[in-house]
Amino acid sequence: MRGRIEVVPTLNIKDPDVYDLARELAQRRGVSLTAAVKEALEDSLAASRASRDGVAEALMEIGRRSAARPEPFLTDDDLYDENGLPK
């Protein structure tokens, strides 16, 4: 039994529209329903990860540019009025 899956989890799709979409994708790709769902989920996760990674990289770049500035980007005078209240 080494290397064999003993318990296979199931996915029960109860929404007819979801089933129809999966069936159409499977037919278009020439694969099984399972393969179509797996590929669609992998594609969606990859896009989600890429989007998240892109945002993280953009924020890191802002941090690098800010840290490289010799003078403060904003001072207390930029943020607060003469009474210490936010502008």
Is 76 in contact with 82 (CB distance < 8 Å)? Answer: no
- Residue 82: inside a domain, yes or no? no
> 31 vs 23, 38, 57, 64, CA distance in Å?
9, 11, 36, 46
Structural domain includes residue 87: no
Q: What is the predicted pLDDT for the residue at 44?
A: 94
Q: Is residue 43, in this structure, part of any structural domain at all? A: yes
Average pLDDT over residues 66-85: 85
Report if residue 50 sits inside a domain. Answer: yes
pLDDT, tens only, 7-48: 778 888 899 999 999 999 999 999 999 999 999 999 999 998
Question: With a threshold of 0.75, does the pTM exceed it?
Answer: no
Residue 21 vs residues 27, 36, 41, 62, 63: alpha-carbon distances, Å:
10, 10, 13, 41, 43
Structural domain span for residue 40: 29-70
